[in-house]
């Protein structure tokens, strides 16, 4: 049985959420122990991938009007609107056996417990093996990709992974509910094609509520924790935020124009 830490950090600002994810990577590296974390965002936040261009991806006027925040993630991928969802993150130290695997192989292993948890909740989720090129959009959920978690052909969970000398960070967005119009409104998309993208988005994106999930968020997290325990043979120990160092240092990073606007 392998020991992991479990951290429920609740609802926080986008700067805090990204700072804690990176500080967790430090903690995993220094202590040689993986961490599984669950969290939410306040206010609702549009996050963009590490390599995305800020101004060509985001409609800042609409973002401000809706009272939404914006941040750049340390992971790749496209834009994600964090609103009616639970986010998970996992950090593994560089010494962990999963780091001997390819990104795709480790990604698949870390996603399988999520699929199992959803299946146990009678949601017929599966890990996709195909790339959907039908929609070209700055949005992660509007552009389903290889290894997404889907239900009935629609994307439910998008995740991204990054690695460095400390280890591995993977995080992903589990949609409790989704407003496709809201998603596209905060993206910088030519007005002439928005309606077509909204229509296609409704065909490509789903949420737990749409798939019949009637339980509360704590029940979902309970099933996710159990699935990780069962599939990866993990014994979880609770971790307090106060035990994780460097959060304030990383808050400065993720609050900076240099990071978010790449200037």
Per-residue model confidence (pLDDT) at position 249: 97
Using CB atoms within 10 A of its CB, is residue 246 exposed (0-12), middle (13-18) or buried (19+)? middle
Per-residue model confidence (pLDDT) at position 131: 53
Q: Which two tokens stand for residue 51?
A: 């390599």
Domains of the chain, CATH where assigned: 2-260 (3.30.930.10)
Per-residue model confidence (pLDDT) at position 143: 42
DSSP letter for 98, please: G
pLDDT tens digit at each of 263 positions of the chain: 999 999 999 999 999 999 999 999 999 999 999 999 999 999 999 999 999 988 888 999 999 999 999 999 999 988 999 999 999 999 999 999 999 999 999 999 999 999 999 999 999 999 987 655 444 444 444 444 457 999 999 999 999 999 999 999 999 999 999 988 888 888 887 666 667 777 787 888 999 999 999 889 999 999 999 999 999 999 999 999 999 999 999 999 999 999 999 86
CA torsion through residues 85, 21, 36, 242, sign: negative
Using CB atoms within 10 A of its CB, is residue 204 exposed (0-12), middle (13-18) or buried (19+)? buried
* Cis peptide bond N-terminal to 257, omega within 30: no
Could you tell me which of 101, 107, 99, 103 has the C-alpha nearest to residue 128?
107
Is the distance from CB of 53 to CB of 15 less than 8 angstroms?
Answer: no
Q: Residues near 134 by Cβ (< 8 Å), separated by ≥ 6?
A: 200, 204
Q: Residues near 182 by Cβ (< 8 Å), separated by ≥ 6?
A: 66, 81, 83
Q: Which of 140, 157, 175, 186 is catalytic?
A: 140
Q: Is 140 a catalytic residue?
A: yes
Question: How many residues in the chain?
Answer: 263
pTM over 0.85: yes
Per-residue model confidence (pLDDT) at position 192: 64
């Amino acid at each position: 049985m392998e020991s992991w830490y479990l951290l429920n950090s609740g609802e926080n600002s986008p700067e805090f959420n990204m700072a804690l994810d990176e500080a967790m990577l430090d903690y995993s590296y220094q202590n040689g122990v993986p961490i599984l974390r669950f969290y939410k965002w306040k206010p609702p936040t549009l996050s963009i991938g590490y390599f995305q261009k800020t101004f060509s991806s985001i409609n800042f006027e609409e973002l401000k009007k809706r009272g939404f925040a914006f941040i750049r993630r340390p992971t790749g991928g496209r834009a994600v609107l964090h609103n009616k969802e639970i986010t998970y993150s996992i950090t593994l130290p560089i010494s962990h056996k999963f780091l001997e695997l390819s990104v795709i192989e480790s990604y698949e292993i870390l996603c399988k417990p999520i699929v199992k948890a959803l299946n146990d909740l009678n949601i017929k989720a599966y890990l996709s093996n195909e790339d959907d090129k039908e929609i070209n959009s700055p949005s992660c959920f509007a552009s389903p990709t290889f290894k997404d978690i889907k239900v009935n052909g629609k994307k439910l969970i998008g995740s991204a992974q990054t690695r460095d000398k400390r280890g591995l960070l993977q995080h992903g967005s589990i949609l409790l509910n989704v407003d496709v119009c809201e998603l596209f409104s905060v993206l910088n998309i030519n007005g002439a094609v928005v309606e077509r993208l909204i229509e296609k988005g409704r065909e490509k994106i789903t949420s737990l509520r749409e798939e019949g999930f009637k339980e509360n968020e704590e029940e979902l997290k309970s099933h996710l924790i159990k699935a990780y325990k069962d599939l990866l043979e993990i014994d979880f120990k609770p971790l307090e935020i106060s035990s994780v160092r460097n959060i304030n240092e990383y808050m400065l990073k993720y609050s900076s124009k240099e990071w978010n606007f790449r200037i």
